[in-house]
Structure 1
Amino acid sequence: MANEHAVAENLRRRMLTDIGSGTLPPGARLGSERELSEHYGVSRATLRQVLAALEEAGLVRRVAGRGGGTFINHAKVEHDLTKVVGVPAYLARQGYSAGTRVVATKMGVADAPTRRALRLGEGDLVVDVRRLRLADGTPFSLDHARLPADRFPGLLEQPLGGSIYELIENDYGVVIGDAEEVVEVVHATDEEAALLAVAVGDPLVSITRTTYDTTGTPFEFSHDLFRSDRVRITLRTPGRGLRGIPGGDTPHFATISSVPSS
């Protein structure tokens, strides 16, 4: 039994190495059980055990039916909360082909949470933009941004398929300062599941963000939903030793919490 466990663990590590090195690239279809067991020199029973563990970890997916098989899942995208950048920029930096589908746009009266976040008055209008983000053609995140309408006149007439941050910096002269973000785990609704190509109730990483310009004035209140199987959140928190270093005493804030299932 101990030897079987060692063989399975060795196979798991070999396959993880092949996935990490690109020998088994994202989207690749693995060979048959016979081919894989011969290639790795293990029994089919051991192979099935390791494939089941990799599937549970989200590294492979099994598709039933004709034309199905076992496929390598896409690697997770690193989303660094210590830097305020647009989605296309950090996707491109990691070698992904970024895409955007505008789901809905409108101008309307800000609701209470948006008024509080953006320091708006009763009845003030906001530009409301919902977009589906794609990484290598696969749904990655669902973004919902609200911005003060009087500060960004004509924004809805602009092309919104790229980075709104770059757009408002280039066309409206707004320079991004920092952001406060709340990270939660939520469950996909019917609409969210359909747009993100996941199952209803699947876990999603939710980030609610208020973004400020360099004067400390909030200009964006957004709610982004990320597929949990496609994103990894990273944070960098400065310690006392960074005090006095330029930028070291202005940490990026994030509140981590979770939503229990109903």
Structure 2
Amino acid sequence: MSTQSPELVRAVDALRAMVDASVKQGLEKLPAERELADRLTVSRNMVRRGLEILEGEGLIARSQGRGGGAFITAVTESAPVSPTLFDAHERKLERDLNAIKGIPQMLAEQGFVATTRVLSESVESASNGIATALGLRDGAPVISLLRLRLADGKPLSLERMFLDAELFPDLLDHSPIGSLYALLQSQYGVTVATAEEQVEVVEVSRQVARLLDLKPWSPVLALRRVSRRDDGTPVEASIDLFRPELTRLIVRTVVGEH
């Protein structure tokens, strides 16, 4: 240990403490290297060297590839579904699927610093899927909004929204667009009343991975949404891609009488 730098000694001691705490909580895996580096305020290379030392001591076992990471060897075999899943170990955006709110509003309400990067705002021809969702003919002009959402400076989600260009003329004159729903209500008298969302896990391309600060082909949460007015008229069709390790989906269900 005397040949190790003070920074490495500090990192190893901190990692050992994290392993001890994880064992007590029944956690089987340490966070990803990027998160460990942020927590310990050291470089990822220093974290990697520290993990190598812990692996040599038999405290962890590392594996590569999707689903890999640093697994804690001392954790005893637990129930198939651990009750520790109810413990809030990490701070995440709670994406309420029962509420029609924009991401900036959700982030602000939950104490995050919300930032939006507008990547593109344009008019294009609707694909078959978007035309069907908005009740338009194939190739009809639609407004396309591509935005990157950040929480506390970290990329959180990439969203692409589509709206009927004929229904909302001159919408892009208000660029950059902040709260879309507020703009639709104030400028066009359109209020979103309902929204249907479908959630699935997809793998991201290299371009999307670069924007979300992920490895290519990483899994993300994909939310496809169609929002409507009271009369059922489609207002917006969108696709939101969320980093799963930063997002928690919330659904509230009312159980009827039996």
TM-score normalised according to structure 1 size: 0.69
- Measured in 1, the distance between the counterparts of 2:94 and 2:172 equals 29
The question of whether the paired residues in 1 share the 8 Å contact of 2:11 and 2:47 is answered with: no
- Measured in 2, the distance between the counterparts of 1:137 and 1:74 equals 17
The question of whether the paired residues in 2 share the 8 Å contact of 1:108 and 1:127 is answered with: yes
Alpha carbons of structure 1 residues 45 and 155: separation in structure 2 relative to 1, 3 Å: closer
Cα-to-partner distance string for 1:149-198 (whole Å, 9 max, x where unaligned) = 01111111213352211111121111111111110001111011000001
Aligned equivalent of 1:159, options 161, 170, 175: 175
Alpha carbons of structure 1 residues 117 and 219: separation in structure 2 relative to 1, 3 Å: same
| Unpaired stretches in structure 1, ≥5 consecutive residues | 1-30, 243-262
- Measured in 1, the distance between the counterparts of 2:136 and 2:119 equals 25
SS in 1 for 2:236: strand
Aligned equivalent of 1:54, options 30, 44, 47: 30
- Measured in 2, the distance between the counterparts of 1:59 and 1:109 equals 40
Offset of residue 147 of structure 1: 0.2
SS in 2 for 1:105: strand
What is the aligned-residue RMSD (CA, Å)? 3.0
Alpha carbons of structure 1 residues 172 and 227: separation in structure 2 relative to 1, 3 Å: same
Offset of residue 231 of structure 1: 0.4
Matches within 5 A, 1:1-262: 32-34=11-13, 46=20, 53-55=29-31, 60-62=35-37, 63-65=43-45, 75-241=91-257
Offset of residue 35 of structure 1: 6.0
The question of whether the paired residues in 2 share the 8 Å contact of 1:33 and 1:47 is answered with: no
- Measured in 2, the distance between the counterparts of 1:35 and 1:75 equals 20
Cα-to-partner distance string for 1:191-236 (whole Å, 9 max, x where unaligned) = 1100000111111000000000122110101011000111011111
TM-score normalised according to structure 2 size: 0.70
Q: Which has the higher contact order (CA 8 A, sep 6+)?
A: 1
Q: Number of matched residues?
A: 204
The question of whether the paired residues in 2 share the 8 Å contact of 1:103 and 1:132 is answered with: yes
Identity %: 35
